[in-house]
A and B are shown apart, each in its own frame.
Chain A
Amino acid sequence: MSVITVERKVLAKNDEVAESNRALIKRNEVFAINLVSSPGSGKTSLLEKTINSIGNKVNISVIEGDVQTSLDAERVANYNVPVVSIITNGSCHLEAKLVEDALNKLDLKKTELLFIENVGNLVCPAGFDLGEAMKIVIVSTTEGDDKPLKYPKMFRNSELMIINKIDLLPYVNCDISKLKNNALSINPGLKIFEVSCTSGAGIKEWCNWLIENVKEKHKQDTQLMY
């Protein structure tokens, strides 16, 4: 009997491609966000609201990941921003290689802010680095306040949580302070925004944060180059 010691990360190949995506994104001074959530939490609605609010101030591009159909990509394209659609044909998450192909179809020189809308799923996308600057997780009030405890890896790996559908709080069984505490018990450094894509509440604060970060990212990447 002989033993071969391997000790290799199963997703090392994905991580390598993700690092090369990250370098490409950095060279082009783009702030890239990997947007994750359950199906129906409001990823596409948030994109629509965001593009509508700051699309005239920031050059936004979108990579739309979906299991089937390009319906979300069509919704976003109505706002006159460059959109590349990735249809995963049944796969439950985006992988770095798929994003690499999509990046090649975008004009990154003309992009300041890139949203990668992942497939709606709180489990699988958590493990796959795509080369983004950060993951942002959306959770909606209709999903209940226990989501962070049920899907800890996603909330651990995100830097920001957006609580959507706060206009529905009077009608749903969701304790928002409990939701926040649950998320913070998994990730104490998590930044939190509360929004409603229907009423528009909180969208301004979220958009201001985005603009600040686009500027900051631009500054950091430029300093690195010189």
Chain B
Amino acid sequence: MHELSIAKNIVEIIKESVEEKDLLSIDKVILKIGELSGVMPDSLQFSLEAISSGTELEKVNFEMMKVPFTVKCKICNNDSNNELGIVKCPVCGSNDTEIISGNELLVSEIILKN
């Protein structure tokens, strides 16, 4: 249930990024959620709805963009969408890889109606 404290942080970021008079005109907030972020999009959606209910953010659509788990091999240079968390390169078998996406947990964009 850490999605609730994450939702609170998201609301804070929105309030810091948008002028108070524009809060009611927010149409959509785009969030980037990496597969390895440990955040369940459904649970986060529920938490966001719960804490924005009855506030100026009540009508906001929260859109979750899932970011796949990807590793880049430092030996053969291939990018692979491995099974979650597995870092071994499926092409050459090396463990010398770097996670290039999947850890994201970002407020990406806020879209206003006008």
Contact = CB atoms under 8 A, between A and B. Distances in A.
A186 B82 CA distance: 11
B53 interface: no
B37 A6 contact: no
A155 interface: yes
Contact of B85 (A3, A14, A93, A155): A155
B87 interface: yes
A51 to B, nearest CB: 29
B103 to A, nearest CB: 8
Contact of B106 (A4, A7, A92, A185): A7
Given A3-B109, A5-B109, A10-B13, A124 B38 contact: yes
Interface in B61-114: 84-88, 95, 99, 105-114
Q: Tell me whether chain B's interface is mostly helix, strand or loop, or mixed.
A: mixed
8 contacts: A4-B110, A95-B5, A127-B2, A152-B36, A152-B86, A186-B85, A186-B86, A188-B87
Contact of A186 (B87, B107, B108): B87
Nearest to B31: A10
Nearest to B88: A185
Nearest to B86: A185
Contacts of B9: 10-11, 13-14
A10 B105 contact: yes
Interface in A57-100: 91-93, 95
* Interface magnitude class on chain B: 20 to 34
Contact of A3 (B1, B2, B111): B111
Contacts of B18: 4
Contacts of A180: none
Contacts of B99: 156
Given A3-B110, A152-B84, A153-B38, A124 B1 contact: yes
Interface of B: 1-2, 5-6, 9-10, 12-13, 17-18, 27, 31, 36-39, 84-88, 95, 99, 105-114
Given A11-B6, A153-B36, A185 B107 contact: no
Interface string A1-35: 11111111111111000000000000000000000
* Interface magnitude class on chain A: 20 to 34
Contacts of A187: 87
Contacts of B85: 148-149, 152-153, 155-156, 185-186
Given A153-B37, A153-B38, A186-B87, A124 B110 contact: no
A138 interface: no
Nearest to A127: B38
A188 B113 CA distance: 48
B111 A1 contact: yes
B87 A185 contact: yes
A38 to B, nearest CB: 15
Nearest to B113: A1
